[in-house]
Amino acid sequence: MKPMNPLYSLSIALACGMLSIQAADTVYVSATAPTGGDGSTNAPFNTINKAVNETQAKTVIVLPGLYRETVALSRTVTLVAPYGPNYTHISSTGNGVEISGSSVSPTIQGFMISALSEGIWTKDGWYGSIYMANLVIQNVGDCGIYIGHHENQWRGFTLENSIIYNVKANGIQTRNHRQWFRVRNTTITKCAGYAFNTYYDIGGYGGEWDIQIEYSNISNSGRDYTGNCATYIKRGDGMSGISDPKWVGGSNLDQSKLDFRLMPNSSLRDIGHPLMAYNDPDNSRNDIGAYGGPGSLGFFENPTQGPLILGVTVDNPYVPRGAKIAIRAKTSVYK
Ligand SMILES: [Ca+2]
């Protein structure tokens, strides 16, 4: 048999490689899928880590469910939960999401994240930038977002249309090095420490932060900013300090009623960034929090301005056969 032309065999290998890249460009995850899935729509992976470790995948679609894992991101990938944070929950006994690596620039969008340690922890990282949007980071044992120590030299961070709530330490903590951080259309409230703690380790690894916050609601019982915030944080237009966001689940949500959508009468509606690029899916001005902005397309509530059912009660459910019962519902209408 004639030996194969090496160029020909190379072109076959490339063609096969390209095919597999195209096939696995987008992979799916479902918490309830059986193990052994290949990431396709018919056989999703059952952990987020399996999907992000699929090196050909550029986009990871996470379907509704509870994901009990620490998501370790060490490459550039778009990690998105199209049904939103009410239905897609990462719950970790360590850190919720850990990001590390050189030139790693991931997108994380649409999740609720709870963790015993940090919500999102950027570990060793260089030259990458991180985009985070439509996140609810809540019930966290340490910081909501923790930019680690001297090993970090990220380019920068963007956090849009998100909520940081009920964390034991600081909402956002930054340390060392010159990096930028942009926060907009976001609520930070009920952190036991501070909403922002910027920390520059004198004699350490040098640099100043460039942090800009705009059109956000920072309300943390008088503990909004500490560390070198006065030097590094630029508070732009549209800042508010509304202590009661009027979430559907209430102002002090317990873990059985985690609903961070805005009530129709919330003051945080229509006060986000006025640029049309930030408009809500119903084309109204941006609503501050995780349920507003263009990224909320799959879970933006009340696009038809219909009534919001707040509670259903049954009057005297134990009645004799043939008797009548009354079922009542409270509703509120989007004005
Ligand atoms: Ca709006």
pLDDT tens for the chain, 335 residues long, are: 444 444 444 444 444 444 444 457 999 999 999 999 999 999 999 999 999 999 999 999 999 999 999 999 999 999 999 999 999 999 999 999 999 999 999 999 999 999 999 999 998 888 899 999 999 999 999 999 998 765 567 888 999 999 999 999 999 998 766 678 999 999 999 999 999 998 765 444 555 678 899 999 999 999 999 887 777 889 999 999 999 999 988 877 777 788 999 988 899 999 999 999 999 999 999 999 999 999 999 998 754 456 666 678 888 778 888 888 888 887 765 54
How confident is the model at residue 310, as a pLDDT? 66
pLDDT score of 308 = 64
CB-based neighbours (< 5 A) of ligand 1, an ion? 270, 280, 284, 287
Whole-prediction pTM value? 0.84
**What pLDDT does 233 receive?**
87
Q: How far apart are CA 35 and CA 39, in angstroms?
A: 11
**Upper half-sphere CA count for residue 155 (Cβ side, 13 Å):** 11
What spacing in Å lies between the alpha carbon of 84 and ligand 1's midpoint? 17
What is the C-alpha to C-alpha distance for residues 115 and 265, in angstroms, rounded to an integer? 31
Report the CATH number of the 64-302 domain: 2.160.20.10
Strands 156-160 and 187-191: unpaired
Per-residue tokens: 331: 């509703």
Residues with Cβ within 8 Å of 282's Cβ and at least 6 positions away in sequence, in order, are: 300, 302, 303, 305
Q: Is 162 helix (H, G, I), strand (E, B) or coil?
A: coil
Res 303: pLDDT: 45
Query: CA-to-CA distance for 325 and 305, rounded, in angstroms?
Result: 30
CA of 311 to the centre of ligand 1 (A): 24
Q: How far is the CA of 13 from the centre of ligand 1 (A)?
A: 51
pLDDT value of position 248 = 87
pLDDT at 324: 86
Here the tokens at position 123 are 């570990």
What is the CA(268)–ligand 1 centre distance, in A?
9
> Distance from the CA of 279 to the center of ligand 1, in angstroms?
7
